[in-house]
Structure 1
Amino acid sequence: MYLSHFQLAERPFRLTPNLAYRFQEQSQAEALTTLRVALAEGEGFIKVTGEVGLGKTLICRALLEALRPPYITAWLPDPHLSPGTLRTALARELGLDLPARPTQQKVHELLQEGLTRLVAEGRKPVLLIDEAQALPASTLETVRLLTNLETEQRKLLQVALFGQPELDHRLARPDFRQLRQRITYSCRLQALDRQAVGEYIEHRLARAGAEQPLFTTAARARIARASDGVPRLINILADKALLSAYGRGKTRADWFDVRRAIADTDATEDRLWWPRLQPAVRVTAFGLVALGAYLVLEVVRGGAV
């Protein structure tokens, strides 16, 4: 690979969420602060939404890393769970003992007893659900009912939902109004602006051991435009651009290398507009250009006469 060529200790733009590479982007930092404050206050529901690739899973893992005792956490990364499976998974994540083949009524009873005991011991149970927009409606309702469990002082279980904007659309439906009213804190992640994209790239390169800039200014600007500030796309384009520069024997990735990366990435928002135009539109555009050139030529000729 290109590691030795650029004198890097490891690949700086892996897609796997890595807390060691976490960039302190403002909306992410605000979301993490809001989550910690809301959980400290004992609120029942917190929601974090954002487009694909903006770092929701990374924030979720950062929160798991930050929540120390008395918090006790349960993380459910797979939302495709039935109500019964969710209860069982939650009970096991919290360390509760279940019979070999318990009925759902038994699981519910043991879960309530276990949560009551944990809270009496001074613990703070927290359920984190990633990709929450994909939760079945019945499972989402089960989550709401679990937050009904409470003592006179506080909720037995707090829930943080992480999801794409589709989660907001689902919760706007009339049948979810009860759950929507229980969400006391809500955060929306934002894409990086052009300056932050450059800082993000340099941050990850520094973490990987880079001792000098590996992207030209034009290359960073092109990545910012093509990725629309989405960290996942930035990683994809930057990694491919470095691979291209390595293949050409260059010490830095330039505009050309990023262009090659963009052409190889379907999800980019770059304005490589000419190759993407429909044939009929290309013909029309070419005709307009030709007509413009002809008119300019006629004006020049007329002036010469």
Structure 2
Amino acid sequence: MYIDHFGMRELPFTLTPNTRFFLQLPTHQEALNLLLVALGGGDGFIKVVGEVGTGKTMLCRTLLNALDKESCITAYIPNPYLSPEALRRNFALEIGIENALAIADFELVNRINQRLVEIAKDGLYTVLIVDEAQAMPEETIEALRLLTNLETESEKLFQVVLFGQPELDQLLSRPSLRQLLQRITFSCRLNTLPVAAVSHYLEQRASRAGYAGLSLFSSAAAKLIAKASGGVPRLVNILAHKSLMSAYGRGDSTIKKAHVIKAIEDTEGVDVPLMSGIAKLLLGSVIMTSSVCGMLYWATMRGLI
């Protein structure tokens, strides 16, 4: 790939959530800070909502890494499309009940309660983190609420963080789930990135991947990525990755607008933002010249010229 060409150690714009590339931007950092403070205060339910591709799973995994392992037991459920019984068994396994699959369901709640009390007596607290929570069946959400009734005289035995798409808000607004909605003490929303933040994001990830040069993305290229992606981090990553491939293929060391245009054309569901007739003419000339240079570069490399 283009790693050596740009002097990097690893790919900077993969879609796999890598917590080393966590967004050091106000919206996401503020959300992480809110989660840590709320959990430290013993609040019961916390909700994080964001559109597809806005970095919920990245934030979720960053939170898991940020929680102190010496004072906190974490239970993580990445796919909550489960029956109430399956939810209880998954939670039991996550908190260290090894024979959870063999325990009868009617006994399982008692065993969970005993285990949570043991954890609390050891001076620890328990956090259940549910990703893609909008996929939970209604009866499973109600089962989760009933589990949170487990408590001592002074505190809840565990806390819950729900990560989900906006459909989670719609789900929790149902009258039948009003009791759980009332228990949500903190909530935050992950927004898309403004144009200026996209440029910072691109340079930050390139730097963390090992790039040591000046700005890798030209100002025009970064703005075009921001507009075409709508500021959605996942789309920003896709367009940036393909732009780097385009630049590498042409032997260029800086990402220009022409490279981004090629990336956009190769990405379904993303369109080139509207431009004036003069801008289109100028850009077309740049792309044509760049394409010819790219062909000559590769022909030279392969000994054809």
Task: Please tell me the TM-score bracket, short chain as reference.
Answer: 0.7 to 0.9
Give the TM-score normalised by structure 2: 0.86
Letter in 1 for 2:239: L
Distance of 2:30 and 2:255 partners within structure 1: 33
Give 3-state SS (helix, strand or coil) of 2:74's partner.
Answer: strand
How far does residue 272 in structure 1 lie from its aligned partner after superposition?
A: 5.6
- Indicate conservation of the 8 Å contact 1:73/1:128, yes or no: yes
How far does residue 268 in structure 1 lie from its aligned partner after superposition?
A: 2.7
User: Corresponding residue for 2:178?
Assistant: 177
User: Corresponding residue for 1:150?
Assistant: 151
- Indicate conservation of the 8 Å contact 1:72/1:123, yes or no: yes
Larger Rg: 1
Give 3-state SS (helix, strand or coil) of 1:125's partner.
Answer: strand
- Indicate conservation of the 8 Å contact 1:54/1:230, yes or no: yes
User: Corresponding residue for 2:169?
Assistant: 168
Distance of 2:258 and 2:54 partners within structure 1: 26
Letter in 1 for 2:150: L
User: Corresponding residue for 1:81?
Assistant: 82
Please give the per-residue CA displacement for 1:100-129, whole angstroms capped at 9, x wherever unaligned: 622111111111111122112211011000
Give 3-state SS (helix, strand or coil) of 1:262's partner.
Answer: helix
- Indicate conservation of the 8 Å contact 1:98/1:107, yes or no: no
How far does residue 130 in structure 1 lie from its aligned partner after superposition?
A: 0.1
Q: CA 1:242–1:99 in structure 2 vs 1: closer, same or farther (change >3 Å)?
A: closer
How far does residue 214 in structure 1 lie from its aligned partner after superposition?
A: 2.2
Match status 1:126 vs 2:122: no
Please give the per-residue CA displacement for 1:158-209, whole angstroms capped at 9, x wherever unaligned: 1000000110011111111111000000000111111110000000111111
Give 3-state SS (helix, strand or coil) of 2:24's partner.
Answer: coil
Letter in 1 for 2:26: Q
Give 3-state SS (helix, strand or coil) of 2:127's partner.
Answer: strand
Q: Which moved more, 1:98-107 or 1:24-33?
A: 98-107
- Indicate conservation of the 8 Å contact 2:49/2:163, yes or no: yes
Distance of 2:246 and 2:5 partners within structure 1: 12
Letter in 1 for 2:173: A
- Indicate conservation of the 8 Å contact 2:261/2:272, yes or no: no
Q: CA 1:177–1:23 in structure 2 vs 1: closer, same or farther (change >3 Å)?
A: same
Distance of 1:136 and 1:270 partners within structure 2: 39
Distance of 1:120 and 1:22 partners within structure 2: 34
Q: CA 1:78–1:228 in structure 2 vs 1: closer, same or farther (change >3 Å)?
A: same
How far does residue 227 in structure 1 lie from its aligned partner after superposition?
A: 0.8
User: Corresponding residue for 1:33?
Assistant: 33
How far does residue 32 in structure 1 lie from its aligned partner after superposition?
A: 1.0
Distance of 2:275 and 2:79 partners within structure 1: 37
Point out where structure 1 has 5 or more consecutive residues left out of the alignment: 275-305
Output aligned runs, 1:1-305, within 5 Å.
Answer: 1-68=1-68, 69-98=70-99, 101-212=102-213, 213-268=215-270, 270-271=272-273
Give 3-state SS (helix, strand or coil) of 2:5's partner.
Answer: helix
Number of residue pairs aligned between Structure 1 and Structure 2: 274
User: Corresponding residue for 2:296?
Assistant: none
- Indicate conservation of the 8 Å contact 2:3/2:10, yes or no: yes
Distance of 1:101 and 1:20 partners within structure 2: 38
User: Corresponding residue for 1:302?
Assistant: none
How far does residue 152 in structure 1 lie from its aligned partner after superposition?
A: 0.9
List 4+ stretches of structure 1 deviating above 4 A.
Answer: none
Letter in 1 for 2:220: A
- Indicate conservation of the 8 Å contact 2:229/2:235, yes or no: yes
- Indicate conservation of the 8 Å contact 1:54/1:189, yes or no: yes
Give 3-state SS (helix, strand or coil) of 1:89's partner.
Answer: helix
Give 3-state SS (helix, strand or coil) of 1:245's partner.
Answer: helix
Distance of 2:274 and 2:265 partners within structure 1: 8
How far does residue 154 in structure 1 lie from its aligned partner after superposition?
A: 0.3
- Indicate conservation of the 8 Å contact 2:23/2:29, yes or no: no
How far does residue 271 in structure 1 lie from its aligned partner after superposition?
A: 2.5
How far does residue 36 in structure 1 lie from its aligned partner after superposition?
A: 1.0
Point out where structure 2 has 5 or more consecutive residues left out of the alignment: 277-305
Letter in 1 for 2:191: Q
Letter in 2 for 1:242: L
Give 3-state SS (helix, strand or coil) of 1:11's partner.
Answer: coil
| RMSD between aligned residues | 1.5
Distance of 1:267 and 1:26 partners within structure 2: 28
Distance of 1:199 and 1:123 partners within structure 2: 38
How far does residue 10 in structure 1 lie from its aligned partner after superposition?
A: 1.2
Give the TM-score normalised by structure 1: 0.86
